Structure 1
Amino acid sequence: MVKRSNWWIISFLFVIGGLFVPLFFLFYKFGGANFNVIREHSNIVRFTIFQAFLSSFFTLLLGLPGAYIIARTKTNKFFNSIFRILSSIPFILPGVTMSIGFLMAFGKNGLITRLLNLFGFRERILYTFTAIILGHVFYNFPLYIRIVGETWEKIDSSLIEAAKMDGAKNLKIFFTIELPLLTSSIIKAFLLTYVYTFTSFSVALILGGIKYSTIEVAIYMYTKILFDFKSAFALSIFQIFFISIVSYILTFEKEVFQTGKSLKDKFPIWGYFYLFIAIIFVFIPLFYSLISGFIEYGGKLGFENFKRLITLDLRRYVGTNLSSMIIYTAFFAITSSVISVLISIASSSKNKLQYIMFLPAAISPVTLAFSYISLNINQFISIPIIHSFITLPIVYGIISSGWKAINKYSIEAALLDGANTFELVFKIKIPQVKYHILTAFFYALTLSIGEMSATITISQPPISTLSISIYRLLSSRRIPEARALNTLYSLIVILLFSLVEYLRNRKVNN
C-alpha cells in the first residue's frame, strides 16, 4: 500500500501564510479597520454586486454559443485554431492594452461608432455602464470557450447518436443529455466570471470612470490617493468575505467526465449571426489593440511608432531600458508561473483544498501589495509571490480538471505492480496531465506579464514590466511609443496561446 502524499500541506501553508500573515500585519500596523465605510459606500457595494451579476449573465449569453461552435460543429481546423487563440487573448490583456482597442473602436471616430451611426444609434458608449458590461464580456467570455468548450468536446458521440435514433431533436438532446453533463462546467465558468467582474479594477476605472466605481476602485482610492488604510482594509475584508462565499459554492459542484469522441454537427445558420456579434464587440477592439503599433497619426499604416520607441530615452519615462524591461517581465512571469503550477500540482489530489485555492481571487491585489510593502519584503520576492496568487485560481482550475480525469485503472495497475509514491506521480499521473500542466503554465505566464495593479503598487525604478511601461508611456502622452510596445506585448501573447493551441491539437490527435 502506497503512503498518502502530504505535499498538499505545503500548498495550504503557502496560500494561507502568504495571503493572511501580511494582511494581519497590515491590520496591526494601522490599528484596525473602519467598517463604517461599508455603510457610507453602500451604493458602491450594491453597484459592484449588480454589475458583476449582469456582466456574468451577458458573458454566459456570448460564451455558451461560442463553446458550442468550437466543440460541436464542423469547422475548418485553421478557423477553429485561430478562433481559440484570439478568443483566449482578451482574458489576459492588461487594462491599458484593452483600453487602446476600445478607444480606437468605440471612440468618437472609431469604426464601431461610425457603423452604429449609420443605423441611427448615436448614444455614447465609452464612459458609461454599457461600456463596463462590454469590457467585462470582452475579458471573460474566453472562460466559457475553454472551460465549457473543452468539457463539451469530451461528451461521447454515442450518447447523442442513440438519442437521435430514438427520434430526439437537437434542442431536446441539448436539454436532456448535454446540459446535465455541462452544468458543472457552466457553473464553474459563471462563478469564476462573477469573481473576476466583482473584483474589477481597470475595466471599471478606464471604461466607466469614477462615476461607476467598484469596491476594488474604492480600495485603490483609499490606499493610493487618500492613504486611509483603515477604510481600505474594511472594504478588503468585506470583499474577501463575499468572494469567499462564492468560492465555497465552487467546492460543491461535481465534475462529470463522459469521455469519448464528440459528435460534430453542421455549422448552424445562427452561428453566422453569432460570429458577426463576436466580431463587432470582441474581435474588432482586439484587432485594433493588436495592430495599434502600426497605426500612425492620421490613420496611416507604417513603422514610425516602432522607430520612435527604439530611439526614445525610455529611462526618462518608465525608469529602465527595453532589454531590462523584458528581462524583468520574463523573470517575474516565469518564477510566479512555476510557483503557481507546483502549488496546484501539490494540491490537486486534495478536493477539499479547492476552496483555499480560489481565495486569492477574493483579495484585492492592491491591498495585498501594500501588505507586502508593510513587511519590507524585497520586490524581487514579493512580485513573483503576488503574481503566483493572482494566477493560482486559473492554474489550479486547469490542472485539477486534468487530475480528476486521470485513468483510475492505470493507478490501480501501478499499485499492483508495486509502484511507490514517486513512480505513481511522475510515471503515471504527470504524463496523463502534462497537457493541462503546460496549458496552465502558459496561462500563468500571460497573466503575469499583463498584471498591473499589484506590480505598479510595489515596483520602484528601475523595475518596470511590459504592462507597466505601456501605462507609463500613455500617462506621459507618448501615445505612439505606447502603441508600439503594446503590439510587441500582443505578439508575445499570441505566440504563447499558439503554443497552447498546438498542445491541445496534439492531445486531441493522440
Structure 2
Amino acid sequence: MNGRLRVLVWALPPFIFLGAFYFLPLVRILVTALGPDRLVGGGQAVLPDWRSLATVLGFTTWQALVSTAASLVAGLPLAWWLRDHGSRLRSVARLLLTVPFVMPVVVTASAFVALAGPSGLLNRWLMGWFDLSAPPIQLMHTFGIIILAHMFYNTSVVVRVVSGFWSQQDRRLADAAGTLGATAWRTLVTVEAPLVLPAVVSSALLVFLFCFSSFGVVLILGGLRFSTLEVAIYRQAVSYFNLPAAAVLALIQLAVTFTAMSLYTRLQRRHAVPQQVEATEQFADDEPRTRGHWIGDGLGTAAALILVSPLVALTGQSFSVGTSEWSLVNYAGLLQGRADSAFLASPVEAVGNSVRNALATMVISLVLGIGMAYTLFLMPGRAGRWLDPVFLLPLGTSAVTLGLGYIISMGPLRTSPLLVPAAHALIASPFVLRVILPALRRLQPGLRQASAVLGATPRQTWWRVELPLLLPACAVAAVFAFAVSMGEFGASLLIARPEHPTMPLMIFGLLSRPGLANLGQAQAMSVVLMAVTSASIFALDRLPVAIREF
C-alpha cells in the first residue's frame, strides 16, 4: 500500500463524517439565511448593525481575555506544584482539578447557585453568623460570576497542559543552575520558565477559545445583561428566528476559532518530539521531603479544594434544599416522573438515554479521532498544517449553530435518536485527536522499520506494533469522549426529542421551573451527573498514561 492510498484510507471516514455532519449543516444555514427563500418574516433579512455587532464582539473578546488571565493566574502556580509526579497527594489533587473541566454547564450553574446564590451556602452561613437580614453576596447575573465560572472550568486546562509539559523537562538543567549559584527563584525565571513558555501559550490559546465560544455560562449565570457571540447566535436564531444575523455572527466566530486553532496546532507541532520509551528523570521524584514540600502540598491542596468548593456545596444542598435537615427526598423524586414535566420521560430514563448516547459517542469518536490522527501524521507539508485546525473546528463552533443546521439539513434524520450521538461525536472527536496524535508522534520510527525488515506488512505492523502502543491513549480518549457526551448541552437543546431527553436537558428543564421541589431534583440529578463524569476522570488514574494534551 503506497503512501497516498494509506492517507486516503485513514482520511475517508473523518472527511465523510465532517462533510455530512459539519460542513453541510453550516452551508445549509448560510443558504437558507442569505438565499432567496429566507425564513425571516416578510422576506426581509435583519442584519445586526455595526455598533451592536462591535459591542457583542468587544464583550466576547474582553471577557475571554479576562477569563484567560484569571485561569493563568490560578493555574500556573498549581502547574508548578503539580510538575512533581512523586507525591500521591498531588496525584489526587491533579484528578480533582480535572473534574471541573468535564462538568456540564447546567451542573456548574447549579453548583454556583448552591454556593453563592441568594439562598446558597455562603449567604446562609454569613446571614446566620452576622445576623443579617439580606444576602451579603450578590454575584448572580454579574460579570464577576462569569469570570469565576470560566476560571472554574479552565484552570484545569492550564494545569494539565503546563504541568504535563513541565514534568518532562530535564531536571539536570535546574540542578546545574543551582550548582552555579542561582537561587530557586532565579532558576525558575531564567531556566524553567523559558522552557515551558510554549506550553503556557498553548494553554492560553485553548482557554481563550473556550471562553470566546462560551454559551451556557453566560446564558444561565449572566442573565439578560450579557451576551457573547454564542449567546447572540442562540437569541438571533431561536428567539428572533433571524437566521441572517445568526449566520454573520457564526462566520465571525468561525474565523476567530480557525485562527486560534491554527496557532495552537503550529505550537504543538513545533514542540512535539519523539521520546524514548524508558523512564526519564523528572522533577523532584527522588528528592527528600522538606518543610517547604509540606507547606507547598498544604497550599496546593487548599487551592484545589477551593476550586472544587462549588461542587461540594452542590452536593450538600442536594440533601437539604429548602430545609435545615438532611433528607433523600430529592433523590427519591428522581425515581418518578412529574406530570407537569416538559419531557415525555422520567429522570431515570434520561440517565439511560445519556449513557447510551455516551457509549455510541465513544465508539464513533474513536474511529474518527484515530483516522484524523493518522491522516495528519502521514500527510506531510503545508496540507497537513492546514488540515489540523480544520479537524479542530467543531471544538470552537457554536453548538447552537450546529443544532440549527441539523434541523434544517437532516430531513427525516432530525427525528432520529441517532442524531444526538452523531453530534456528540463531532464535538468529542477533537479531544480524541488531541490525545491520540501526540501519542502517535511519540512512537519511535525504528519500531515500524524493524517490523518491515522482519517481513510484516503495514497492516500487520499497525495491528501488532502500533495499536498496542496506542491503546492507553485510546483508553484516555474514550473516557474523555464518554464524559463530553454525558455533559453536552448546547446541541442537544435543539435536536434531542422530548421523549429522549438527556440528563443535562432534564436538569435545565427542572431549573427553569419554579419551586423548591424542582430545584432540589435538579441539584440531585446534577450530583448524579457529576458522580458519573467524576468517576470517568478518576478511572484515568488507573490507566498507564497521563493526560497531557486536550
Please report the TM-score for the alignment, with normalisation by the length of structure 2: 0.84
Residues 379-430 of structure 1: per-residue CA shift (max 9 Å, x gap)? 4232222212222222221221222222233233223223322223232222
Encode CA deviations 1:199-235: one digit per residue, 9 max, x unaligned: 1111112222221111111111111111111111111
2:180 counterpart of 1:166: yes
Query: Which residue does the alignment assign to 1:255?
Result: 271
Matched AA of 2:57: V
Is residue 279 of structure 1 aligned with residue 316 of structure 2?
no
Counterpart amino acid of residue 473 in structure 1: L
Q: Tell me if structure 2 keeps the 8 A contact 1:317–1:472.
A: yes
Partner of 2:470: 433
User: How many angstroms does 1:46 deviate by?
Assistant: 0.2
Alpha-carbon displacement from aligned partner over 1:91-140 (angstroms, at most 9, x marks no partner)? 12122211111112112353445778989995622221111110000011
Which residue is equivalent to 1:372? 406
Query: Which residue is equivalent to 2:489?
Result: 452
Note the 1:89-238 alignment, pairs <5 A: 89-113=99-123, 122=136, 124-238=138-252
On the 8 A contact 1:290/1:491 being kept in 2, the answer is no
**Residue 335 of structure 2 corresponds to residue 306 of structure 1:** no
Question: For residues 429 and 288 of structure 1, what CA distance do their matches in structure 2 show?
Answer: 45
Percent of pairs identical after alignment? 26
How far is 1:63 from its partner?
1.3
Deviations 1:414-457 (A, max 9, x none): 23223322223232222223222111111111111111111011
Q: Secondary structure of 1:368's partner?
A: helix
Q: Which amino acid aligns with 2:293?
A: F
Q: Quote the residue 1:72 is aligned against.
A: 84
Q: In structure 1, how many angstroms separate the alpha carbons of the residues matched to 2:195 and 2:463?
A: 30
Q: Which runs of 5+ in 2 are unaligned?
A: 36-44, 377-383
Unpaired runs of 5+ residues, structure 1, are none
Q: Partner of 2:501: helix, strand, or coil?
A: coil
Distance in 2 (CA, whole Å) between partners of 1:488 and 1:237 is 37
Question: What RMSD, in angstroms, separates the aligned Cα atoms of the two structures?
Answer: 2.8
Measured after TM superposition, the shift of residue 268 of structure 1 is 6.8
User: Does the 8 Å contact 1:332/1:448 carry over to 2?
Assistant: yes
The one-letter code sitting in structure 1 at the alignment partner of 2:453 is: L
CA shift in 2, pair 1:404/1:268, >3 Å: farther
Query: Is residue 519 of structure 2 the alignment partner of residue 479 of structure 1?
Result: yes
2:195 maps to amino acid: L
Residue 40 of structure 2 aligns with which residue?
Answer: none
- Cα deviation 1:456-487 (Å, max 9, x = unaligned): 11112201011111111222331122222122
The match for 1:393 among 420, 425, 430 is 430
Q: Which one of 252, 255, 259 corresponds to residue 241 of structure 1?
A: 255
Query: CA-to-partner distance for each residue in 1:287-346, whole Å, 9 max, x for gaps?
Result: 123444323422322212112222443784432134432332122212222222222211
Counterpart position of 1:355:
389
In the alignment, the residues of structure 2 paired with residue 432 and residue 99 of structure 1 have an alpha-carbon distance, to the nearest angstrom, of 40
Q: Is the 8 A contact 1:105 1:111 kept in 2?
A: yes
Aligned partner of residue 335 in structure 2, secondary structure: helix
- 1:10 aligned to 2:13? yes
* Count of aligned positions: 505
Instruction: Give matches, 1:42-57, under 5 Å.
Output: 42-57=54-69
1:153 touches 1:261 (CA, 8 Å); kept in 2?
A: no
Aligned equivalent of 2:320: 295
Aligned to 1:320: 345
**Residue 267 in structure 1 maps to residue 293 in structure 2:** yes
Once residues 314 and 83 of structure 1 are traced to their aligned partners in structure 2, the CA distance between those partners, rounded to angstroms, is 43
Deviation (angstroms), 1:184 = 2.8
SS in 2 for 1:164: helix
Distance 1:408 1:115, change over 3 A: farther
Q: Between 126-135 and 22-31, report the one with greater CA deviation.
A: 22-31
Opposite residue 361 of structure 1, the aligned amino acid is: L
Change (3 A) 1:226 1:506: closer
C-alpha displacement of 1:504: 4.4
Q: 1:80 to 1:337 in 2, by over 3 A?
A: same
Contact 1:435/1:507 (8 A) holds in 2: no
- 1:415 aligns to 2:425 (yes or no): no
Shift of 1:73: 6.8
Q: Which moved more, 1:9-18 or 1:450-459?
A: 9-18
User: In the aligned structure 2, how far is the partner of 1:277 from the partner of 1:362?
Assistant: 29
